[in-house]
């Protein structure tokens, strides 16, 4: 590769610090299904073949959309075609660089933030997935680990002098492959899933945690609260002043109720309303909400993706609805389901093998929220 390039982390930092212009040259359907997105990102699409044609009879600089400001980061699937296009644009006088590794590398990026209170938050910008390392007294639990980042949690814990005691899933995920088994195999951690996972068809051995149970992490307790709605088995986790709300409550929306059983979506939406009212919103308004996902439009706070429960309550208008109105809102005009979600669920239950081919299934947007606008 001959063009100057930026790494996915450099692109991420550029977007967060001052904004980033991204020119995606993949096919239109690939761009529309999934592209570099998030706060500070302006992304436009021009297919690669138009640049090929311009190289023969035209000026490739004329193809750059007006919405993009230099410097421009050119993106393709793996960084080869984009390297060529970035080079052609530079020869035409455009300040353009290549995204090293393309969308494949962007999909692998995981950014860690120390949130205080013994919490490290991990963000996967390509999908909005959040996971957590909770630590106290030399021990740690990893919550909702990504299979693609299992080595990262292990290395970060070792660097901090922590022993990972638990690998925990808050529910059977439909948008990404769980790293519970990979992390447990690598570290000797105890696998922990919600008790209701057996009813979903859990096919591997794990400790089952139910409502009222707790996990000892150092000198602290991680308390389990059953929170059905997004799925029947989902739990939220009380870590003192923090509440890990998984896919029950996000910072600007709530979890969709149709991924476990579309035919029971309205019934699950009703349970979601009850959970929010009786379980989640019963916590003190000063409690810090640590969600399982963020939307592409969600801006991080001073230390990460977190907000007080009081702030979240004010931000999400559907939390004020009665049960019937809530059910209608969260079951109407839902976004597309996560790509390959049925196969991902089967893999996370242990019914299918977790391998490199399976990891390809989770690339793309998570679409686990109802809508940030609702």
Fold held by 5-105:
Oxidized Rhodanese; domain 1 (3.40.250)
CB 218 within 8 A of CB 137: yes
Nearest to 24 by CA among 61, 73, 89: 73
Q: What is the pLDDT of residue 301?
A: 79
- Examine the pLDDT at 374 and tell me if it is beyond 50: no
Q: pTM of the predicted model, to two decimals?
A: 0.94
- Ordered by start, the domain boundaries in the chain are 5-105, 110-360
Sheet holding 111-116, edge to edge: 111-116, 119-124, 129-136, 139-143, 163-168, 190-194, 207-209
Label residue 365 by pLDDT band (50, 70, 90): low
Q: Could you read off the pLDDT of 294-327 as tens digits, one per residue?
A: 987 787 877 899 999 999 999 999 999 999 999 9
Q: 11-20, 47-56, 226-235, 358-367 — which one is most confidently predicted on average?
A: 226-235
CATH number of the 110-360 domain: 3.60.15.10
Please tell me which residue, 202 or 301, carries the higher pLDDT value.
202
- pLDDT at position 90 is 95
Burial class (CB in 10 A: 0-12, 13-18, 19+), 324: exposed
Phi and psi dihedrals of 65, rounded to 5? -60, 145
Tell me what the pLDDT averaged over the chain comes to.
93
Measure the N-to-C terminal CA separation of the chain; round to a whole number of Å. Answer: 45
Average the pLDDT over each of 92-106, 194-208, 252-266, 343-357 and give the range with the smallest value. 343-357
Strand partners, 238: 223, 243
């Amino acid at each position: 590769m001959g063009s100057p390039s930026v790494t996915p982390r450099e692109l991420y930092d550029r977007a967060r610090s001052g904004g980033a212009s991204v020119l995606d040259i993949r096919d239109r359907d690939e761009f529309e299904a999934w592209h570099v997105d998030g706060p500070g990102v302006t992304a436009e699409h021009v297919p690669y073949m138009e640049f090929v044609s311009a190289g023969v009879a035209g000026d490739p600089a004329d193809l750059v959309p007006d919405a993009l400001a230099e410097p421009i980061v050119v993106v393709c699937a793996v960084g080869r075609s984009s390297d060529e296009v970035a080079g052609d644009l530079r020869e035409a006088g455009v300040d353009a660089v290549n995204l090293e590794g393309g969308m494949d590398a962007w999909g692998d990026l995981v950014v860690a933030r120390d949130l205080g209170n013994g919490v490290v938050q991990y963000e996967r910008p390509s999908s909005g997935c959040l996971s957590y390392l909770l630590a106290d007294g030399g021990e740690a639990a990893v919550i909702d680990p990504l299979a693609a980042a299992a080595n990262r949690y292990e290395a970060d814990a070792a660097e901090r002098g922590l022993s990972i005691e638990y690998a925990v899933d808050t529910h059977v995920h439909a948008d990404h492959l769980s790293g519970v088994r990979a992390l447990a195999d690598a570290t000797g951690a105890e696998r922990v899933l919600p008790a209701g996972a057996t009813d979903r068809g859990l096919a591997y051995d794990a400790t089952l945690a139910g409502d009222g149970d707790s996990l000892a992490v150092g000198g602290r307790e991680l308390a389990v609260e059953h929170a059905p709605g997004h799925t029947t088995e989902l739990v939220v986790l009380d870590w003192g002043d923090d509440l890990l709300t998984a896919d029950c409550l996000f910072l600007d929306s709530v979890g969709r109720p149709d991924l476990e059983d579309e035919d029971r979506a309205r019934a699950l939406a009703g349970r979601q309303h009850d959970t929010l009212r009786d379980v989640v919103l019963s916590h003190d308004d000063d409690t810090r909400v640590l969600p399982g996902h963020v939307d592409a439009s969600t801006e991080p706070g001073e230390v990460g993706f977190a907000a007080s429960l009081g702030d979240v309550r004010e931000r999400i208008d559907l939390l004020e609805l009665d049960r019937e109105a809530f059910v209608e809102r969260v079951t109407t005009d839902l976004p597309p389901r996560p790509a390959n979600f049925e196969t991902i669920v089967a893999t996370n239950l242990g019914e299918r093998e977790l391998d490199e081919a399976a990891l390809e299934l989770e690339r793309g947007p998570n679409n686990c929220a109802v809508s940030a606008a609702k």
